[in-house]
Structure 1
Amino acid sequence: MARDLIRILGLWPARRGWLLAGVVAAICSTLAGLALLVLAGRVIAGAVVAGQAGAALLTGIGLAALVWLRPVMLFRPVARYLDRLVTHEATFRALADMRVWFFRRLAERLPAGLGLREAGDLLGRLVADVESLDGLYLRVIVPAASSLAVVVAMALVIGAADPGLAALLALPLVAALLLPLVLAPAAARAGQDAARAQGALRSAVVDPLTGLEDTLAANGEGRAAARVTAAGAALSAAQRALARRSALGGASGALLVQAALLGSLAWALGAGQDGLAAGLMAVFLAIAAAEALGLMPRAGTSLAAASAGARRLFEAADAPAPVAEPARPVAAPAGHAIRLAGVGFAWAPDRPAVFDNLDLDVPEGARIALLGPSGAGKSTLAALLLKFAAPQAGRITLGGVDIADLPAAELRRRVAWLTQDARLFDDSIAANLRLAAPEASEAELWKALDRAQVGDLVRGLPEGLETQCGEGGLRFSGGQARRLALARTLLSPAPVLILDEPAAGLDADTERAFLQTLDEATAGRSVILILHHLTGVERPSRILRLVGGRAIPAAG
């Protein structure tokens, strides 16, 4: 548990200033509240000892305390406001960095998409598990620092007057401060159960909704609902167990704080005239400590939840990347001819080989049509060329350089991929296009749209480039969406284009028109055209078929 939480803190170096400022602000706020009651206690203790308020207020200690009361009263709400402002700002910034870090780790480990991963569970890790980490700072580190400052300040103030009373007051408060560490291991197990149950519930909800048409067509909504119900019941049980741990911590902490208060009160009542003032001061300090230390026992539950969230994040983030970056990357080649020599590949050791001694040459400017039925390995070839996977045998070169020695980012600047199910995101047309070229000007966007023969359509829309595409590009027809995706691919300066079933899902007439556009728009680049069949408008320079894991020449 400790190792995961320390690693989380190590991921926030850019926010160290904010995090430290939040702790300082919280300590100042807590000590201001403590000082307020110390001063009030001095005034009241002086009045009690003197036997009359008027005399006490005119004596040195009582008068000094009264003078300081007003500025401390004014400072206290300001410090409290800064405490909340800075600690929450620090938390929001740190969690934002965490989400970006986790997304990048997932992108490295899932370059070909979610695959067999459960989308709902990953969504839970990205949202709920990251959010659970706010408890590490807001409900553990900040209260612990404030509580420690309170205990030290109380020990100094009361210790100067009566060391025995200081010990009586400090011991139960120190126990309350350490209580989260005692309760955390058991709470951590409950927190991990709750985190897993929450991920299972998200998967149970998201999975059938993702394929809702299939679920309804198979009359599977009842089974899906039963799965959601079972996952919800499991989550409720796990959360109840965690809540019981939290309640136990809260009750234990309250008892310890009350023990400090009652001990101080008993001391004050039995101390006599000489110890009465110190006893009353201790009572006021115990009251002041209750606010800060009262939060600490529940910090054990927050610590457990943060630990469980961190463990789930690292489980996904530390999965081995399918293709490791080269330890010593080489310089990018000048040319972009592609060659596959003796390539062998299988997606898993227990699955049949997709390629067996595959040889393929794609000279610069060539236009290769690669044909084959589903499962022949056409899309697998694209994944290998983009380093979404690595061959187990043979080598792939770009411009004579083994792509294993090239950074993935550099390779993907040279090779662009129009995937079979190229997605338009729920954003503007301009934002969708700029995925391929973030710095592209509007003129460049229009040029790409015109080359994809969809510029006139976009010009006719009321909002033009700022038109929202809708989720999955639902704002447009299938043919229009494919042309917009093609425009995005053409916007890339990559000299090599892989077009994976570019006309998938289109009717025959729309398919021919789109492929005709494709032939004209990709002139001057090397093109690997992955198809089930040829329509006659593609005009490739070579036609190959994938058969038995090898590429053989075909007549058409």
Structure 2
Amino acid sequence: MTEILRLLRLASPAKGLPALLAAFFAALSGIALIGAASWIIASAALAPPLSALTLGITCVRACGISRAVFRYFERLLSHRLAFACYEDLQHLTYRQAVEKLPLKEGAMREGEFLHDLLSGCKTLRDFYLRTVPPPLLAGLITLLACAALLPLSPLGAFLVAFLYLLHIALPHLVLKEEHLRTESAAYRGTLLNLVDGRTELHLGGAIPHARQMLDDAARTFQAKQSKKRGRRETLFTCLDVLRVALWVSLLILLLPHVKAGAVSGIEYAVWALALEAALAEYRPLPAAILGAAAAKQAAAVILPEEKAAALQEAPTGTASAHRTASDRIPLLEVRDLCFAYPQCPPILKNLSLRIKRGEHTAIIGESGAGKTTLACLLLRLWDIDSGTILYSGTAHTSLTADEARSFFGAALQGSCLFSTSVRDNFQRLHDGLSEGAIWQALETAQLADVVRALPHGLDEPLGENASRLSGGQRSRLLTALALASDAPLLLLDEPTAGLDAARGAKLIAAVLENLDKKEGTLIVITHDLPLLDRMKQVISL
């Protein structure tokens, strides 16, 4: 229920109310149209003067026009609201991906996570179109129908209200367990495993067996899908039968009033068709209730958890506050950190380290020792298995991932760059960054001359993942992007890779000079041994 409330707050009642009112008046116009038409047909059977039907004819025309007008406004307003919310949801999806990827469980789990995000985003878009309006609209129609029936048949009013509640409750109770995400993920996992191992399967002559495995997995998944679809259709058919049964029951309940003269024959005809039109508003309810369950599951993945009021401060403000802390408190401290990839031995075990402000630190070690893994843990890309990371004295458990990352400007190997311009890459990462600050970062990273030589300078397209730059130039651009941050820690992963010794030394000297001016601290992962002479601390893994 919490997820549904958060979705509703994302749209806000003030924005959704006009669309709901337009839908309500469109439904009322439709019911009035049916009622007026039935009045004309029943009255015409008595062969009255044409003038006696004029009012009914005018009413039919007015209701037909108003129904079309209100339906147009309902579609316009509801779709405008839904796509505005969809834009916000896409931003949230992007933030979730940025915050949680990469996953230490590997590429398959990352694919499953992205599938959940993208499919969930579409589900939540439909939430505002097909999930929220039908129950509210049908509820309003139910109130009006009950109020009209109550003086004539209290039992009929009760049955209408009871049928509305059945449409709300039955889909949730009968089909609440019908979620095939686990089965779908198992089928996709089998498919990907067989695709990854197709060469080995071919060499081993096991292709027929693999096909049989995939066919069995597909049949199992399809059988469960068919079972779910059959149960849905059975439930929907039963509710259709209940609506028809209730309509017939209401007509029977009104018959004594016709015999008693309280309701005329013409009025009885109006009641008959108007009630049928009103009950037709119940048809979208089962699908809407099932959509609410799907939206709840999608919201749990996409919408970020609500943080306590103490954690609502912006990341930059948090970093600024910590920068004023006493220098006696380490800027970064790790205590007894342990981490292992799934089904692998620990890559880091009981690791402890301290980095004070201005204490430039190098992290060295053999390939596979865990240097880049440690960087990812410090940036909260992954959660540690045990231990504590303190950022200026504050434990990682008391900070969100974004707040922890606000302590760093980082350039990791394998980071992606946008295919647009140098300027766009800077401004996407650092909103509102001035052109002067961009050039300063490029100068420090020894890349300014390269950018000036490009035909369009800062606005030159870089190609997919900056493919138009060499490996060394791409590495220096990542360094420049990290330098543009005002965070107290600069984390660089092999910044001199692909550079000759002279240019690498010049780059590090410029970076250190820049950090010393603004009281920043460098953490560098490196195999460049001469660089270690410039460091105040070396940590060997």
Match of residue 410 from structure 2: 417
Cα distance between partner residues in 1 of 2:429 and 2:299: 33
Deviations 1:334-376 (A, max 9, x none): 4778566783211269954835474555552x54433211343
Question: Counterpart in 2 of 1:80?
Answer: 71
Contact 1:204 1:224 in 2 (8 A): no
Give 1:31 shift. Answer: 0.9
Change (3 A) 1:71 1:421: same
Match of 2:478 among 473, 485, 496: 485
1:476 equivalent in structure 2: 469
- Give me the whole-angstrom Cα distance separating, in 2, the residues matched to 1:395 and 1:305: 37
Which moved further from structure 2: 483-492 or 234-243? 234-243
Deviation at 1:383, TM superposition (A): 4.5
Aligned to 2:159: 171
Distance in 1 of aligned mates of 2:306 and 2:339: 16
Q: For 2:210 and 2:88, locate their aligned partners in 1 and report how far apart those are by CA, in whole Å.
A: 35
What is the match of residue 344 of structure 1?
A: 336
State the shift of 1:197 in Å.
3.7
**Is residue 334–residue 352 contact of structure 2 (8 Å, CA) maintained in 1?**
yes
What do the CA deviations read for 1:50-80 (whole angstroms, capped 9, x no partner)? Answer: x1042xx544xx5543343333222111100
DSSP-derived class of the 1:494 partner: coil
1:225/1:544 Cα in 2 relative to 1: closer, same or farther (>3 Å)?
Answer: farther
- Partners of 1:307 and 1:240 in 2: CA distance: 23
Aligned residues: percent identity? 24
Give the total of aligned pairs. 514
Give distance in 1, aligned partners of 2:357 and 2:508.
17
- Give the alignment's TM-score, normalised by structure 2: 0.77
1:342 and 1:359 in contact (8 A); partners too: yes
* Distance verdict in 2 for CA 1:234–1:28, change over 3 Å: farther
Structure 2 distance, partners of 1:12, 1:333, is: 38
| Selected match of 2:182 from 196, 201, 209 | 196
Whole-angstrom CA distance in 2 between matches of 1:119 and 1:26: 41
- Superposition pairs of residues 93-104 of structure 1, within 5 angstroms: 93-101=84-92, 104=95
Q: State how 1:458-477 maps to structure 2 within 5 Å.
A: 458-477=451-470
Deviation of 1:248 after TM superposition, in Å, equals 1.8
Shift of residue 546, structure 1, vs aligned partner: 1.3
Which residue, out of 312, 332, 335, partners 2:322? 332
Q: Specify every segment of 5 or more residues in structure 2 that has no aligned partner in the other structure, as ranges.
A: 516-520
- Asked if structure 2 preserves the Cα contact closer than 8 Å seen for 1:425 and 1:473, the reply is yes
Change (3 A) 1:115 1:182: same
Equivalent position amino acid for 1:113 in 2? P
3-state SS of 1:346 partner: strand
Cα gap change, 1:541 to 1:249, in 2 (>3 Å) = closer
**Which of 43, 56, 64 is residue 46 of structure 1 equivalent to?**
43
2:523 maps to which residue? Answer: 528
Alpha carbons of structure 1 residues 348 and 40: separation in structure 2 relative to 1, 3 Å = same
Q: 1:425 offset after TM fit, Å?
A: 3.2
Match of 2:6 in 1: 10
Describe how 1:318-397 pairs up with structure 2 within 5 A.
Answer: 331-334=321-324, 338=330, 343-347=335-339, 352=346, 354=348, 356=350, 358-362=352-356, 364=358, 366-383=359-376, 385-386=378-379, 396=390
Distance in 2 (CA, whole Å) between partners of 1:87 and 1:169 is 30
**Residue number in structure 2 paired with 1:430:** 423
Distance 2:473 2:211 in 1: 36
Contact 1:184/1:300, CA 8 A, preserved across alignment: yes
In the TM superposition, residue 421 of structure 1 has moved relative to its aligned partner by 2.2
The answer to whether the Cα contact below 8 Å between 2:236 and 2:286 also exists between their aligned partners in 1 is yes
CA–CA distance in structure 1, aligned partners of residues 296 and 356 of structure 2: 51
Equivalent residues in 2 for 1:123-138 (5 A)?
123-138=114-129
Q: Look up the match of 2:34.
A: 37
Q: 2:144 aligned with 1:145, yes or no?
A: no
How far has the Cα of 1:204 moved from its partner?
A: 6.3
SS in 1 for 2:177: helix
The aligned residue for residue 120 of structure 1 is 111
SS at match of 2:119: helix
User: 229, 233, 236: which one pairs with 1:243?
Assistant: 229
Unaligned runs of 5+ in 1: 548-556
Distance in structure 1 (CA, Å) of the matches to 2:283 and 2:135: 11
Q: Please tell me whether the aligned partners of residues 451 and 487 of structure 1 are also in contact (alpha carbons under 8 angstroms).
A: yes
Q: CA deviation at 1:279?
A: 2.3
For the residues of structure 1 that align with 2:360 and 2:354, how far apart are their CA atoms? 13
**In structure 2, how many angstroms separate the alpha carbons of the residues matched to 1:168 and 1:402?**
64
Give the conservation status (yes or no) of the 8 Å contact 2:423–2:438: yes
The alignment partner of 1:344 has SS state of strand
1:460–1:77 CA distance, 2 compared to 1 (3 A): farther
> Does structure 1 retain, via aligned residues, the 8 Å contact 2:426–2:438?
yes
Q: Which is further off, 168-177 or 38-47?
A: 168-177
1:298–1:207 CA distance, 2 compared to 1 (3 A): same
Could you tell me how far apart the structure 2 residues matched to 1:450 and 1:496 are?
Answer: 19
Separation in 1, partners of 2:253, 2:460: 75
Are residues 147 and 411 of structure 1, via their aligned partners in 2, closer, same or farther at CA, if it must alter by over 3 Å? closer
Aligned position for 1:546: 540
Please say if residues 149 and 156 of structure 2, whose CA atoms lie closer than 8 Å, have aligned partners that are also in contact.
no
Letter of the 2:222 counterpart: S
> CA 1:236 to 1:93, structure 2 compared with 1: closer, same or farther past 3 Å?
farther
One-letter identity of the residue aligned with 2:231: R
Q: For 1:201 and 1:515, how far apart are their aligned partners in 2? A: 49
Over residues 404-433 of structure 1, what are the superposed CA-to-partner deviations in whole Å (9 max), with x where a residue is unaligned? 577765664453222132321344432322
Partners in 1 of 2:430 and 2:30 — Cα distance?
55
- Do residues 285 (structure 1) and 274 (structure 2) align? yes
Distance 1:89 1:318 in 2: 26
Equivalence for 1:253: 239
* Residues 242/24 of structure 1: CA separation in 2 closer, same or farther (3 Å cut): farther
Aligned to 2:518: none
Moved more, 383-392 or 464-473: 383-392
Q: 8 Å contact 2:93–2:118 — kept in the other structure?
A: no
Cα gap change, 1:293 to 1:407, in 2 (>3 Å): closer
Residue 554 of structure 1: aligned partner: none
Paired amino acid for 2:507: L
* Equivalent residue, structure 2, for 1:181: 169
Cα distance, 1:402 vs structure 2: 5.1
